[in-house]
Structure formats: C-alpha cells, structure tokens
Structure 1
Amino acid sequence: MQQNPQRDDLGCPEFAVLVTAEQAWPAFERAVLQARTEITASFRLFDLSTGLLSAEARETGDTWADLIAAALRRGVNVRLVVSDFDPVMAAPLHAAAQRTLDQAREIRDGLAPEEAARLSVTAALHPARAGILPRLAFSPFVLRKLRKLPRRLRPSAAETGLPQLYPVSHHQKVAVVDRETLYIGGLDQNRRRYDTPDHDQPAFKTWADVQLLLRGPEAEEAAAHLDCFLEDVAQRRTPLEGRHIRRTLSVPRRAGFWALSPKTVLREIEEDHLAAFASAKRLIYLETQFLRSSVIARGLAGAARRNPDLSLILILPALPEDVAFDGNQELDARYGMALQAEALETVNAAFGSRACIASPVQRRMAARDAPSTLAGSPMIYLHSKALITDRDFALVGSANLNGRSMRWDTEAALRITRQDRIARLWQALARHWWQEDLPAAALEPGSAADWWQQEIQRNQVRRPEARRGLLVPHDPDRMAELQQPLPGATEDIV
C-alpha cells in the first residue's frame, strides 16, 4: 500500500507517506533505533506499553518502554511531552497522562542513574483556564460529570468546591530524532490507534490516519518548536512564525473572568487552509475527522463561488467516534454534530455537483443496523488531517477542521510545496481509499472529483463485497435528531 519512499545513505526515508499505524509505527521505531544523541516529541497520548511492530525494534523487547530504555542505555537523551487534561471533564484522558508518567518511572527504575537521568517525560496541562463566569454557567454540567466519575478518578480538590475548567490541550503529534528526522501527522501512540490499510477488523477498532516521516530542514524547525512551545503558551516568549512547521498556539487571557476561550497567538494552520482554498484552481482534497469550523466552511464556499472550475473531494467519518461506538448523546456531541451539519450545508450550497463528499466503510455487510454502520456496512473511523490543492500545496498534521484545532489547542502541521512530495502524498492517499492503482482521470486535478463521485455513487448501490474501494456517499442526515444548535455558544469548544 505504501508508496516507495526515497532513502538516503543512512537508510532513513527522505519522505515517506505512512497510512495507518501498520505503516507508521515500524517506521517510527526504526527512526528511534537510529537515534545517536536525542529524541524530542510531543503527543496527545503516548502509551509506553504499546507493542513494537518492527523486527528490528523487537530485538530490544516487546514494548515502547523497552525501545526507549534501549535508547537511553546507548546515550540518547529522550524528552517526551504528553498532554494532560481537565481532570473532571476529561477524566479518562487525564488518567492516561498519569499512566504515562507511571510508565516513565518504571523505565527509570530499571536503569543506572546516569541512564535514567537522560529521560524527561512531562504531562503538560495547558495553562488556560475558564473564567469564573463560564465556570458558574457550566457548573450544573460539570457537577453532574463529577458525580458520575468513579471515586478513584475524582480530583481531590473537587471535593471542596467548584472545579477549575481547563478547556485547552496540546493536541499535536510530532517527534524529531537528532534534529534531522521528523515524524508528524495525526497519529498518537496507543493500542486504540492500531489499524491496517485494509481496515479488516471490527468497526470500533478501525483507525484511518496519516503520518509523515522525512529528513531535512523541516526537522530542525520542528525541534525548535518542541523546545519552546511550553514557554510560548505560558507567555514567557513570543513565538516566531513557522516556515515549514505551521501551528496553532493559544495563551491564557489576562483578566479573563468572563472568558471560556484562550487568546489565540498563532493560527497558521487556519491561515494556510484559507490561502490554499483561495489559490486553488481545479481541486481541493481534504481528509478530516471533523468539519465544524464556520470559518473553514465559508473559505471553501467563497473559493467555489469565485471559481466555477474548482471542485472538492472531502472525506469524513460517517459519525463522530464517541457517537458511533460509545453511544454518546451528551450536549457536546450534539452541538458538534449540529456545527458539522451547518458547515456541510454551506459547502454543498456553494459547490453543488462539484463537491464529492464521502465516508469510508468496510467491504462487507454489517450484521445489523447500528450507529456504526453506513450504506449497510461497518464504518471505518477516519482520523486523518490532510489537505492537498491541485499539485501545488499540501498540509498534513494534527489539526481538525474545527474551531478548537484552528484557534485553541496546540497543533502542528507540515507545509509541503515540493511537487514530488505532493504527488507522492496524493497517490498514497488515493490508493489507500481505492485499494488499487488508479487511472489518470482519477488523479488529475481537473477530472478527479468527477471520477471519484461517479464511482462512489455506484458503490452506494453495489453489494459491499463488489464495491470499488472503501468509499460511499457521506450521509449528513445520519442521526440528525441528535443535532443540537447552541445559539450564543462559541463553536471553538468542540
């Protein structure tokens, strides 16, 4: 499935497109094995008990803890920042961050003191807090959530008063080895994220994602970002504009007793999306977990109205993960669904028949109708965050097309302008969904959307096992009864 990457004389990819964990994790493991001096990384989640996949890495042991310990023993400095989370509103994620800290302590316990000293693992809680007014406004929801938590997950401070609200997190997924090799995209490191490009497992285990591995000046720039982003969000320095690495960064508001939101200081990823839409001539291609941002939707619509030759291919999951697999019908899920329905309506109204909007499903019949099915088949959960316009521009990273990723959370993405790299990315993403080499009409910017649209429409009426590829039309009205607009609420919260 993976396109053959170019390699340098060290055996490390010059530029590799890695679709799903089956491709990404072994490549990441090999990069860590090649580290000589330092590994620095920041992930939303990083479970050090995750099993190793590559034969080379498995010579060090069974898990990422073993791989990291081996790097420390050979003199490599390892610095990992995982996101910490609101201990009430995101208690399971907060617990996951604490588990990573516990795993790091276990690694140190098995090492000599000088080896253990090379390991730094931090669970970083974004410093932005909700002001007193939104804390009071959300208090019924927060206290209800608190009461439902098992006692072992309840923060001790919450027993005596209204908990603080920490609405922002570090959502990026990026690692740099020796300031020379960059690993960046949408994929965290834990068992839930494992999947293969065939997605031949139960729907609730599927996870379509894209990660890039490359060498070049982009790695040094990413390392500089990782060195400083905690200082940036704490307002101890002013971040510089990124050239290759584009970011979202926010900081706490001063005297923000009225504010739920942080203050955005960098929105480079949003700016790059809007600029790319405006300059696109024939095709905009997007893979995204969410399309909830009204700014992004209006940017797409404006580009469509200005250019009648412009078409769109948009790949979305059939439903949000928590709705499809966990039955979540809480207000946050309902509001997110309403925002996406509104954004899709804006985009469809502007593009009309020039928009091909699809969702991935497995090529088999579902045992029963359920939220996790679409067109009679189990859905494939899509988590990728990728943009390509024509053959000129691409962006791959951690940011979804929602206000939270565009304005609040710490995000990182790679800007790509080299046409050979854009071509390799486009071919890898297209081949992933169609599971075959494609004709020129399916890849040319001027004809791709029409070709994809026709085949996707045919897939809707084909038997699942007879479908071409993995895509069927997206259904924006699926479970529409759950959609709940919240007039006056910021869209950035979800």
Structure 2
Amino acid sequence: MPKQLQAEPTEDDFQVLITAEQAWPAFERAVLAARREVTGCFRLFDLSTDLLSPEARAVGDTWSDLIADALRRGVRVRLVVSDFDPVMAAPLHAAAQKTVAQARQIADTLDAEAAGRLSVVAALHPARAGLLPRLALSPFVLRKLRKLPRRLQPAAARRSAVPQLYPVSHHQKVAVIDREILYIGGLDQNRRRYDTLDHDQPAHQTWADVQLLLSGPEAREAADHLDRFQDEIALRRPPHRGKHVRRTLSVPRRAGFWALSPRTVLREIEEDHLAAFERAQNLIYLETQFLRSSAIAAGLAAAARRNPDLSLILILPALPEDVAFDGNQELDARYGMALQAEALDRVMDAFGSRACIASPVQRRMAARDAPSVLSGSPVIYVHSKVLMTDRDFAMIGSANLNGRSLRWDTEAALRITQPDRIERLWKALARHWWQEDLPEAALDPVRAAGWWQQQIRRNQVCRPEARRGFLVPHDPDNMSELQQRLPGATEDIV
C-alpha cells in the first residue's frame, strides 16, 4: 500500500471521494482537525490500517496512532463496529473482536484520562432467528461449526443442540467529526478496501467505492443517528425519520417463533429509490454491488414503461466478489446470482435499447481465462452504492440494491438535492470511469446513456490498451450455470 497519497483538490464543503486513494487521506485529515469528538459506525474497521496522508503520517503509521493522537489532544472517540454471527460469519466475528482488542492496546499506551475518552464496541444486532428456522437450519449450522478451527468455535454454540442464529448486521459506513463534518458512503477501513483511481492492482485487490465528506446540517443529523440507532433497534426508543440522512432499520420480532427475518421499521433508502425512479424524466444512473431486489427491479421497469424518454446507466461488478475471486459456489452465492439474473431480465426487458449496463475491467489483457476476467481483461470490483436521477436528485450510502440492505441491515445514506453538489458528483463519477474530462453529450441526461452505450460497445471489441476508460458491456449470462432459486426462501437473506 502506498504511504503518501493526497486526494485531488475539491470544494471544502462537499468532497466526492472515489476509492480509498482519495477517501482515506480526507478522512484522516478530518480526524486530525477534530477538536471535541469523533464518532462513527462501520461494518469493518481495522485499526492497523496504514495511514496515507502526509499530515497523518507525521503522527504515526496506522489508524491506532491517529486515534491515540486524537485522544491525547482531548478528543473523545466513539466507534461501533458490527459484530456477526460467530458460526455463520466466523471470520467477520473475529475481525470485530480484533478491532476491540486493538482499542484496548491503544488505551494501554495512554494515561487514564485519555484512555477514558475512548469507546470501541463490537455491536451484535439484537434480532435473532426464531426457533422454527433454527431447527430447520441446525444441521447446516452444526456442520459449519464443526469445520471451524477450535479457537473460532464459540463455547455457547458448542454446548447447544440448536445454536442461536444472528442474521442481521450493521452495514453502514459513517463518521461525524465535532458534529460538523460528515463522512459517509460505502467504504469500510481495512487493507482489502484499498484501491487507486487507476485500479492498477491485481483484480482481487481492486475496490471501486464512493465516499462523501461534507459540512452542514447533514452532519448534525448523522450524529443524532449515531447517538440513537442502537436504542432504536433494541426497542428502547421509537425510530425517527431522517431528512438528509436516510436509513434502513430493523428490530427483533416480539413473537418470532417462525421467522428468520427481523421486523423492518424504516426503509427510507428503498422508498427514496422508488420515488426517484418515478420522478425521473431522462436518466437514472446507478452504481451498485448487487441488483437483487425485486422491488427495485419492479420500480425501474415501471418507470421505463411509463416514460419512453427515460434511459438507464447501470454499473455492476462482473460477478459477486466471493464468486469471482474465492470460487464460492455455495447456495447463498447461487441464490444471489439467480435473484440478480431475474432482476436484470426484468429491467432489460422494460428499458430495451435505452439501458446501458456495464462492468469495469482493467486496460490490460488477462493472463488466462477465469471468473475474474471479462472481455479478456481482469475485472475491477464495484462496491459503490450510488443513485442519481437527471440532475436533481442523488443518494450515496452503504445500501446495496438487495433485500438485505433495504429491509434488514442497519444502513445509512445521504440524500442530495443541491444542483451544484449533484453536478460535482456526476462529473467526478463520469471522470472516474472514463479517465478523462467528457464532452457534453456524455453528461447531458438526455444523451448520456446513448453516448456511454456506444463507447462501451467499442471498448468490447478494442484491444484493452486502446479502450476508452474502464467500462465494457456487462455479461448477464456469466457463470449462469451457478444460478439457483431457493423456493420458500426470502430474497432478503442475500
């Protein structure tokens, strides 16, 4: 990982940060400038992650050093990382416990007053599966438990004939500095998430993502969310609806003997997507890790049929990460791929030639054919969660377009309506994929999809080094033999 990188100069009140190369230095500088408090919640936050900005490197090498510096300066630091089911998601559970252990090590280096300003917790969502699904799934869970190394096997699960199941997690990636600066998007903090704007790493290390850093009332609202959300999902406080910061929240079912799922209490992110599709006049632009939600697919299809002038630009990874890089062919991967195939069929049928659906690849020839290859080139993995319609609405956050993000997991996204911010966002996203400043035809909502479609089709038949930007046509039939429906299973589980 490079040691000293700087984000490109941007407007101070609203920065569009693409990939960790831009996002992490900006986040580091915000923490360095903190006067009173840094608070945040992430799915993953490895405090041994290297610092990138020269300013942060002046106080140490890793995020542990940066946090220790803030504590010594009198800044209070509160961090929540998601905990996970210790059997079904053992590596993620171990990562959460590692973060808590790293925090203890930081505290041990400080005096009592500074150490008292640090709070790092691994929070397990309180929703649990009911007895009926636990009984049904117990043979599978017990097999998985037996395969885990002894050190990762939770003692409570070893003693139980019907282990508990914790199906929900906190998936948001949000931090607030002094209740004035908001950092929000899709990017967690560990070495796997690092990538450059050029995506010039091996395919399995690429990670296209988008984060925002901004000031204003959105930061205060996000700080209130971080103060409240654990009480809200534990039924200790009623959930409040957001104005700028939109959320997915779920709570335990009061009588959930039969249920695997939690009870959804806020689905603002899904609602905003569907409302934006309905309002869109010329262009819907999406970047998403998954498109598996039948509600989102239906909303897109309805918008396309209602308005013959409406076009779509959709950027997806070539395959799910675990399929492309880890060779996962288990039922969860198969079911997720089947759901996405159905959603894409529905969307493509409705939009027809007005849909530009693309995946990014590196501009070099792959050494061999593999799941991590598309159009003869290594893939670039897409983790972004972006919605933009025309030039009047946008949303950036942590939620994918799948049932889990839109109904189950704790998610946070920023609603953007200011035209100048949307314009800045659109140009930054477009420049990232095309690696150049673009003509007006590529940015105009009326003409953009046609321009992008034409260039993407040319890229498919060009030598990799001669391509314009990173995008080639998405292949919906890629590894279609893995797709498998699971009758009776909720789509929200994947």
TM class, shorter-length: over 0.9
- In the other structure, the counterpart of 1:15 is 14
Is residue 3–residue 16 contact of structure 1 (8 Å, CA) maintained in 2? no
Between the aligned partners of 1:266 and 1:3, the Cα distance in structure 2 is 36
SS in 2 for 1:253: coil
Report the AA paired with residue 370 of structure 1. Answer: A
SS in 1 for 2:17: strand
Q: Note the C-alpha offset of 1:5.
A: 2.0
- In the other structure, the counterpart of 1:10 is none
- In the other structure, the counterpart of 2:192 is 192
- In the other structure, the counterpart of 1:103 is 102
Is residue 3–residue 428 contact of structure 1 (8 Å, CA) maintained in 2? no
Report the AA paired with residue 79 of structure 1. Answer: R
Residue 50 of structure 2 corresponds to residue 61 of structure 1: no
Residue 128 of structure 2 corresponds to residue 129 of structure 1: yes
TM-score (norm 2): 0.98
Q: How many residues align?
A: 488
Per-residue CA distance 1:360-382 (angstroms, 9 max, x = gap): 00000000000000000000000
- In the other structure, the counterpart of 2:3 is none
Between the aligned partners of 1:439 and 1:74, the Cα distance in structure 2 is 48
Could you list the structure 1 runs, at least 4 aligned residues long, displaced by more than 3 angstroms after superposition: 1-4
Quickly say closer, same or farther: Cα 1:25–1:3, change in 2 above 3 A.
closer
Per-residue CA distance 1:127-171 (angstroms, 9 max, x = gap): 000001111111222122112111111111111222110000000
Quickly say closer, same or farther: Cα 1:114–1:60, change in 2 above 3 A.
same
Is residue 19–residue 197 contact of structure 1 (8 Å, CA) maintained in 2? yes
SS in 2 for 1:138: helix
- In the other structure, the counterpart of 1:160 is 159
Report the AA paired with residue 280 of structure 1. Answer: A
Is residue 199–residue 362 contact of structure 1 (8 Å, CA) maintained in 2? yes
Report the AA paired with residue 479 of structure 1. Answer: M
Between the aligned partners of 1:67 and 1:331, the Cα distance in structure 2 is 41
Which aligned pairs between 1:74-473 and structure 2 lie closer than 5 A?
Answer: 74-161=73-160, 162-473=162-473
Between the aligned partners of 1:294 and 1:150, the Cα distance in structure 2 is 38
Gaps of 5+ in 2: 1-5
- In the other structure, the counterpart of 1:9 is none
Report the AA paired with residue 33 of structure 1. Answer: L
Is residue 7–residue 25 contact of structure 2 (8 Å, CA) maintained in 1? no
SS in 1 for 2:145: helix
SS in 1 for 2:380: coil
Between the aligned partners of 1:479 and 1:148, the Cα distance in structure 2 is 27
Quickly say closer, same or farther: Cα 1:3–1:313, change in 2 above 3 A.
farther
Which aligned pairs between 1:24-63 and structure 2 lie closer than 5 A?
Answer: 24-63=23-62
Report the AA paired with residue 166 of structure 1. Answer: Y
Q: Note the C-alpha offset of 1:2.
A: 6.8
Deviates more, 1:379-388 or 1:135-144: 135-144
Report the AA paired with residue 153 of structure 1. Answer: L
Per-residue CA distance 1:183-238 (angstroms, 9 max, x = gap): 00000000000000100010000000000000000000000000010000000011
Is residue 40–residue 176 contact of structure 2 (8 Å, CA) maintained in 1? yes
Per-residue CA distance 1:93-122 (angstroms, 9 max, x = gap): 000000000000000000000000000001
Between the aligned partners of 1:340 and 1:467, the Cα distance in structure 2 is 28
Between the aligned partners of 1:314 and 1:38, the Cα distance in structure 2 is 38
Identity %: 80
TM-score (norm 1): 0.98
Gaps of 5+ in 1: 7-12
- In the other structure, the counterpart of 1:476 is 476
Between the aligned partners of 2:169 and 2:404, the Cα distance in structure 1 is 10
Between the aligned partners of 1:385 and 1:376, the Cα distance in structure 2 is 26
Between the aligned partners of 2:220 and 2:372, the Cα distance in structure 1 is 41
SS in 1 for 2:13: strand
Q: Note the C-alpha offset of 1:408.
A: 0.1
Between the aligned partners of 1:292 and 1:156, the Cα distance in structure 2 is 35
Between the aligned partners of 1:102 and 1:41, the Cα distance in structure 2 is 18
Between the aligned partners of 1:294 and 1:125, the Cα distance in structure 2 is 28
Residue 29 of structure 2 corresponds to residue 5 of structure 1: no
Between the aligned partners of 1:160 and 1:38, the Cα distance in structure 2 is 42
Is residue 7–residue 21 contact of structure 2 (8 Å, CA) maintained in 1? no
Between the aligned partners of 2:40 and 2:9, the Cα distance in structure 1 is 26
Between the aligned partners of 1:337 and 1:25, the Cα distance in structure 2 is 31
Is residue 323–residue 333 contact of structure 1 (8 Å, CA) maintained in 2? yes
Is residue 3–residue 424 contact of structure 1 (8 Å, CA) maintained in 2? no
Is residue 181–residue 219 contact of structure 2 (8 Å, CA) maintained in 1? yes
Q: Note the C-alpha offset of 1:4.
A: 4.2
SS in 2 for 1:312: strand
Between the aligned partners of 2:280 and 2:171, the Cα distance in structure 1 is 28
Is residue 44–residue 173 contact of structure 1 (8 Å, CA) maintained in 2? yes
Quickly say closer, same or farther: Cα 1:196–1:267, change in 2 above 3 A.
same
Per-residue CA distance 1:248-286 (angstroms, 9 max, x = gap): 000000110100000000000000000000000000000
Report the AA paired with residue 184 of structure 2. Answer: I
SS in 2 for 1:18: strand
Q: Note the C-alpha offset of 1:335.
A: 0.3
Between the aligned partners of 2:488 and 2:301, the Cα distance in structure 1 is 23
Between the aligned partners of 2:251 and 2:355, the Cα distance in structure 1 is 37
Report the AA paired with residue 405 of structure 1. Answer: S
Between the aligned partners of 2:468 and 2:361, the Cα distance in structure 1 is 11
Between the aligned partners of 2:77 and 2:38, the Cα distance in structure 1 is 5
SS in 2 for 1:239: coil
Between the aligned partners of 1:57 and 1:274, the Cα distance in structure 2 is 41
Is residue 7–residue 23 contact of structure 2 (8 Å, CA) maintained in 1? no
